Amino acid sequence: MTADVGAQLRKGVVEYCILGLLDREPMYGWQLSEQLVQAGLVASIGTLYPLLGRLRTQGLVTAFNQPSATGPVRKYYRLTPLGRDQLNAFRLQWGPFTASVHRLIGEDTRD
């Protein structure tokens, strides 16, 4: 058993959380990083890009360039149809999974 439970849990879900964010709207790197860092799912923007690279390799995410309102052209990421299917499959499993784990470990009610 590993001592760093949080890191293992984050590793298991972070890619689906990226898919979830991109399901709302296409986002650029910093936008994604800000939300994921705030949620404690990645340590920095450096952690995000290898994950995005893997998602692109798997065909779950695609990138495109778009000029921003303030000037610079940004690289945006969006979900592919395959990515949306993967996210939906994860959503279907996540609820029952967390419910099962909760049933097994419950809450510590001892004083």
Q: Contact positions toward another protein, by CB under 8 A?
A: 28-30, 34, 42-47, 49-53, 70-75
Q: Which is nearer to another protein, 30 or 97 (CB)?
A: 30
Provide the minimum distance between the beta carbon of 7 and another protein in the complex, in angstroms, as a whole number: 10
Provide the minimum distance between the beta carbon of 17 and another protein in the complex, in angstroms, as a whole number: 14
Contacts of 65 (CB under 8 A, 6+ apart): 73, 74, 75, 76
Q: Which is nearer to another protein, 72 or 81 (CB)?
A: 72
Region label for 19, one of left (φ > 0), alpha (ψ between -120 and 50) or beta (otherwise) = alpha
Closest CA to 16 of 101, 77, 63, 86: 86
User: What's the distance, CA 9 to chain centroid?
Assistant: 12
Q: Which is nearer to another protein, 12 or 96 (CB)?
A: 12
Provide the minimum distance between the beta carbon of 50 and another protein in the complex, in angstroms, as a whole number: 4
